[in-house]
Structure 1
Amino acid sequence: MAAAPALSVLDLVPVRTGQTSSQAIAASLDLVVRAERLGFRRYWFAEHHNMPAVASTTPPVLTAAAAARTERIRIGSGGVMLPNHSPLVVAEQFAALEALAPGRVDLGLGRAPGSDPVITQLLRQSGTTSDVERFPEHVRDILSLVSPEGAALRFASGGTYDVHATPAATGAPEVWLLGSSDYSAQLAAARGLPYVFANHFSGQGLERALEVYRTQFQPSEHLDAPRTFLTVNVVAAPTREEAEERSLPNQRMMARLRMNKPLVPAETVEHAKATADEFAGIGETIMAAARSTWFVGTGEDVAGELRGFASRHDVDEVMISPIAGSYETEPLDATPGRTQTLELITEALTA
């Protein structure tokens, strides 16, 4: 049997029908505490904007809240969409987080917008920092700014100006590059940085991205050999029937995205089942395609798939995005489906 991979969590802070942002965030913060107790390696918050079903708009704020409730687990962003922000602001935020939770902060950086064109324009009202083509330059700047040594700006007229993300750093967050294409794989390899392919989102091009990253990797002061892990959407439940039911709300959300339908808060399982005809035809095809890349089943089912997945791609860690939906009778300030997903998988992998 293949060795059990280390497990981590990617959280979009889902918001279900009838739930407030406060309740959704409370549920996710309970989940990070549970993840730490179960032995998960890291817990990352994604960045998405103006989506009725997603409350993870500000990874630094959520990371700070998670830091206050945990002691061991690594915490951070998966990821900060760098073109939406000033590199100095990002560096300051994560340097402060590193001071709050020394030695356990990850700064995952991506170059996608994380929202629709209108919100993207609102986020990028910051001049040249919003230029996606400057992503490599901004990654370089952040690496310098978050280091204890800081960065030195050179003036055209001569002289330098020292900049520090925090005044007296003793460490720095670990910077990861994230992506769903070869672009970030090539950049991570060239800069000697750890890299994660967004398999939970795309699922296409994983093998190519890993090959590019591993074969082109150049050792650096940050890393002496390629380092990567994989992401995947998962749902685990006591029975396969329940697991499939709990996957339905997220399948329908994917269909809405692909079909350009109005987005809504995450539906309950009951509503998804009662309105199945809404996505007949092309919608069913989209849902089936999404479902085919997820790991859904009992704890033993999913644990087996995770072992095989990690072994095939030669990684020792898998980051799961627990996408289990909720039933109408379940409390609004908790996330039982996601919690049992973590518990059942952990139990099966350690049995």
Structure 2
Amino acid sequence: MTPALSVLDLVPVRTSQTSAQAVAASLALAARADELGYRRYWFAEHHNMPAVASTTPPVLAAAAAARTKSIRVGSGGVMLPNHAPLVVAEQFAALEAIAPGRVDLGIGRAPGSDPVITQLLRMSGTTSDVDRFPDHIRDILALTSPEGAGYRLAGRPDGEDHYGVHATPAATGAPELWLLGSSDYSAQLAAAFGLPYVFANHFSGDGLERALDLYRQNFQPSAHLTAPRTFLTANAVVADTAAEAEERMLPQARMMARLRGGRPLVALETVEQAQDAEGSDRLAAPLIDALRRRWFVGEGAEQRGRLAAFAAAHGVDEIMISPVAGAYAAEPMDAATGRTRTLELLAA
């Protein structure tokens, strides 16, 4: 069975590219994914990273919704401890009003950045209490529903202790909430809440089987979902030739090496810059084979087959592709040529 395909976008920023150009390239990519029949298009949340412009998923998802017709748009994900639950609920309720029936709210509990940025994001006090993550999930589910949430207030002079709150005044639908994670915690929480769940396999494949097993075995049917629902994420670099795919893989591989080695982060190198740098500073060499086994790198037909086998092995009907193909120096700044070709060849 051929799995459905979706897209996860971090809005990569390469050398000499502006944020405006990077966002324009990603929005064009979203429009192309819509034309190709991809199921959903999610934006990640990361902060203060020179190579990543995806800082505000709801803003980017709204822009993508305006440029697409049928693809689902949303977050992969909003890092909830960084934000007040009511603000998240209001943002995605507004998105649901903009694009009814095609909004996903993927939520995680990781910070999405370093401790300094985390502190700046969490200056709002108790809203950033990670231990209250399950309560905040319940709040968002209630706030985004057409019925809204009810809170009890003690000591009201009128004797009325019920206070109703709606994320938007007259909702007719709600965004679909997904829990995201790379550990057992989110898998177990999604199972207990009866919510759909995604393991961050594109980030770290360690623990994938265990997380899926925990989710499926402990799933409790709910008003939101009657049976477990999950899909897989995967990094992909697909080109017309295997040699080109290998070249386009190198900038992202070197970025991964920087992250793992604690080196200063920089804008994503072009293919040519990565090749030149790798000649004297072999950052990616120790990682390439390992990444190649986990990523989907090569020609279209071969990688479509690998994706189908990957989906079948884990019992899912959907794969969310993170297209990490690098760019050549001569390619337009406001286009994602390699990433677009990855989506086209996988959808063929």
TM category, shorter: over 0.9
Measure the CA separation in 2 of the matches of 1:166 and 1:207: 39
What is the letter of the counterpart of residue 192 of structure 1? G
1:86 to 84, 87, 101: 84
2:268 to 266, 269, 281: 266
Over 3 Å counting, the alpha-carbon distance change for 1:243 and 1:57 in structure 2 is same
Over 3 Å counting, the alpha-carbon distance change for 1:49 and 1:278 in structure 2 is farther
Q: Is residue 2:235 matched to residue 1:233?
A: yes
User: What is the CA-CA distance between 1:160 and the residue it aligns to?
Assistant: 1.1
Measure the CA separation in 1 of the matches of 2:130 and 2:293: 32
Q: Cα RMSD (Å) of the superposition?
A: 1.0
Residue aligning to 2:117: 119
Q: What secondary structure is seen at the aligned counterpart in 2 of 1:176?
A: strand
Per the normalisation by structure 1, the TM-score is 0.96
Measure the CA separation in 2 of the matches of 1:286 and 1:279: 13
Measure the CA separation in 1 of the matches of 2:286 and 2:238: 23
2:168 to 155, 166, 169: 166
Measure the CA separation in 1 of the matches of 2:207 and 2:281: 27
Residue aligning to 2:200: 198
Q: What secondary structure is seen at the aligned counterpart in 2 of 1:275?
A: helix
Residue aligning to 1:63: 61
> Is the contact between residue 258 and residue 286 of structure 1 (CA under 8 Å) also seen in structure 2?
no
Residue aligning to 2:181: 179
Any unmatched runs of 5+ in structure 1?
A: none
Greater shift, 183-192 or 148-157, is seen at 148-157
User: What is the CA-CA distance between 1:278 and the residue it aligns to?
Assistant: 4.8
Q: Is residue 2:313 matched to residue 1:315?
A: no
Q: What secondary structure is seen at the aligned counterpart in 1 of 2:6?
A: strand
User: What is the CA-CA distance between 1:277 and the residue it aligns to?
Assistant: 4.0
Would you identify which runs of 4 or more consecutive aligned residues in structure 1 move more than 4 Å?
A: none
Give the 5 Å matches for 1:93-108. 93-108=91-106
Q: Percent identity?
A: 72
What is the letter of the counterpart of residue 153 of structure 1? Y
Write out per-residue CA displacement over residues 135-184 of structure 1, whole angstroms, 9 at most, x where no aligned residue: 11111110000000000111244711110000000000000000001100
> Is the contact between residue 278 and residue 284 of structure 2 (CA under 8 Å) also seen in structure 1?
no
Q: Is residue 2:341 matched to residue 1:333?
A: no
Q: What secondary structure is seen at the aligned counterpart in 1 of 2:326?
A: coil
Residue aligning to 2:130: 132
2:31 to 19, 33, 36: 33
User: What is the CA-CA distance between 1:279 and the residue it aligns to?
Assistant: 4.1
> Is the contact between residue 8 and residue 322 of structure 2 (CA under 8 Å) also seen in structure 1?
yes
Per the normalisation by structure 2, the TM-score is 0.97
Over 3 Å counting, the alpha-carbon distance change for 1:292 and 1:273 in structure 2 is same
